[in-house]
Amino acid sequence: MQPDELLSRDQVEQQYGLSRRWLELAAVRGDGPIMVRISRRMIRYRRSDVVAWISSRTVRSTADQTEPPNFDRCAPDSARGAGMSSSGSAA
């Protein structure tokens, strides 16, 4: 295995257990492994970047989370802030 070998999403899924769909969503959010854009529709991952990304996420417990999840990113635009007043309290 060469560290600069380029892997497809399917290969990353098979070798590292990160699902193809999760990689697609992470690419949109910008919170997954660094990608190499070969063409408009072809994305690859350097093996060394995937390994480094996994290593950077290593924690001893769930309390060691380095940054809080941003659940607002997952909500549809129409749902963001729905039912909330400008003060942040429920309307």
pLDDT in tens, 12-67: 999 999 999 999 999 999 999 999 999 999 999 999 999 999 999 988 888 876 66
What are the boundaries of each domain within the chain? 6-58
Question: Rounded distance, CA 28 to CA 22, Å?
Answer: 10
> In the structure, what pLDDT confidence band is assigned to residue 85 with cuts at 50, 70 and 90?
very low
- Residue 14 carries which side chain, given as an amino acid letter? Q
Question: Rounded distance, CA 46 to CA 34, Å?
Answer: 8
Q: Tokens for 90, please give them.
A: 């429920």
